[in-house]
């Protein structure tokens, strides 16, 4: 299987980040659900175009394979444990920014009906998990693993934190990105990352 080079992966990352930044005025005008759809679509588009242009096997490139129910369950449990740690990190960061007069904004809209809850879980939970894991723990991790498993997991985790463009949650998001990268490496399946990510989003 041909692997993407780190140089190409960095170009894709920067291109995707630039697309999101340029689309920010549009995203801010949309409601939560449509803004997530647009942002995650922009996240996947360059990856898919590059993979098909380079004639790469998407299943192998992105580690799309079934790891087994046991590993998926363990990934979900690990996500719950790490979510507690990440929440403590976020709370500490929030207090620091609150003292500076810059508290984090509310990310999710009010949920008043079961239908709204279902759409929020589907769009903000599942779709975001699939798109972000395919890009970061699928494509980027595959490129960076040339540096070794530990450097790859850490670097991609940091890129994951930076991509979310939030100083308030940078450390906690990078921490979760590193944990999910570790899970994907251990199981050799991006599905483990998706399950962990989805569990965290809930």
Q: Encode pLDDT of 70-115 as tens digits.
A: 988 999 898 888 888 888 887 777 777 667 665 555 455 566 677 7
Our count of domains for the chain comes to 1
Residue 145: domain span: 6-201
Task: Answer whether residue 84 is part of any domain.
Answer: yes
- Determine the Cα–Cα distance for residues 33 and 50; give it in Å rounded to an integer: 27
Whether 132 is in a domain gets the answer: yes
1 domain-assigned:
no
Which pLDDT score is estimated for 98? 66
Residue 78 lies in a domain: yes
Residue 189 domain-assigned (yes or no): yes
- DSSP 8-state symbol, 106: P
The SS3 assignment for 130 reads helix
Write out pLDDT tens, residues 107-145: 555 666 777 778 778 877 888 899 999 999 999 999 999
The maximal CA–CA distance of the chain, rounded, in angstroms, is 51
Q: What are phi and psi of 148, to 5 degrees?
A: 110, 155
Contacts of 202 (CB under 8 A, 6+ apart): 121, 125
In 3D, which of 147, 144, 146, 153 has the Cα closest to residue 193?
Answer: 153
Consecutive H or E run containing 114: helix 114-120
- 109 within a domain of the structure (yes/no): yes
**Which residue, among 76, 71, 61, 65, has the nearest Cα to 145 in the 3D structure?**
61
Q: What's this model's pTM, rounded to 2 decimal places? A: 0.85
- 41: number of Cβ within 10 Å: 13
pLDDT per residue as tens digits for the range 53-64: 777 778 888 888
Helix 6-22 to helix 32-53 angle (10° resolution) is: 150
Q: Three-class SS of residue 14?
A: helix
Q: Across all residues in the chain, what is the average pLDDT?
A: 85
Q: Would you say 62 and 142 are in contact if contact means Cβ atoms under 8 Å apart?
A: yes
Write the pLDDT tens digit of every residue in 173-189.
999 999 999 999 999 99
Give the gyration radius of the chain's Cα atoms. 17
């Amino acid at each position: 299987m041909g692997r993407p080079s780190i140089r190409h992966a960095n170009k894709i990352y920067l291109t995707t980040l630039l697309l999101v930044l340029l689309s920010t005025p549009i995203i801010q005008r949309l409601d939560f659900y449509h803004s997530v759809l647009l942002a995650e679509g922009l996240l996947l588009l360059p990856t898919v175009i590059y993979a098909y242009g380079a004639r790469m096997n998407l299943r192998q490139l992105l580690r799309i394979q079934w790891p087994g129910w046991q590993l998926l369950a363990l990934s979900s449990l690990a996500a719950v444990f790490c979510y507690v740690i990440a929440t403590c990190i976020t709370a500490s960061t929030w207090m620091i920014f609150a003292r500076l007069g810059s508290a984090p904004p509310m990310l999710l809209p009010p949920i008043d009906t079961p239908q709204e809850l279902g759409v929020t879980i589907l769009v903000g939970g599942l779709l975001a998990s699939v798109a972000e894991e395919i890009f970061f723990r699928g494509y980027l991790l595959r490129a960076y693993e040339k540096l070794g498993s530990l450097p790859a997991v850490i670097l991609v985790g940091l890129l994951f934190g930076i991509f979310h463009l939030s100083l308030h949650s940078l450390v906690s998001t990078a921490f979760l990105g590193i944990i999910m990268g570790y899970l994907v490496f251990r199981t050799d399946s991006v599905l483990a990352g998706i399950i962990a990510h989805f569990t965290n989003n809930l």
